Amino acid sequence: MPEVEIGGVSDFFAHPVVAGIDLTGALSAGDKIHIKGHTTDLELTVDSMEINNAHVTEAKAGDAIGIKVSERVRRGDKVYKVTD
């Protein structure tokens, strides 16, 4: 599947398991993403995301968002949107 880079991981929180992502492209709830780094290789569907602790359904380039992830990701990992 083709992938388009849409940002990078800026932070990671273990409780709850949340990744902070600085977006360079648009992202919407329901989109499938791929987070990839030296030791990270995680695909997931974005169920929900937050900007400044407020739930949003879409975000754009320049936004800093938080999303729940199923496992550890690392600062500097690249975030790709998986397109059909």
Q: pLDDT in tens for each of the 84 residues of the chain? A: 799 999 999 999 998 899 999 999 999 999 999 999 999 999 999 999 999 999 999 999 999 999 999 999 999 999 999 997
Where on the phi/psi map is residue 70: left (φ > 0), alpha (ψ -120 to 50), or beta? Answer: alpha
Residue 84 confidence (pLDDT): 77
Identify the structural domains of the chain with CATH numbers, from first to last: 3-82 (2.40.30.10)
Full-prediction pTM beyond 0.85? yes
The predicted pLDDT at position 32 comes to 98
**pLDDT for position 28:** 97
Contact 82, 6 (CB under 8 A): no
Q: Enter the tokens of residue 56.
A: 């949003």
Work out whether the CA dihedral 39, 46, 22, 4 comes out positive or negative: positive
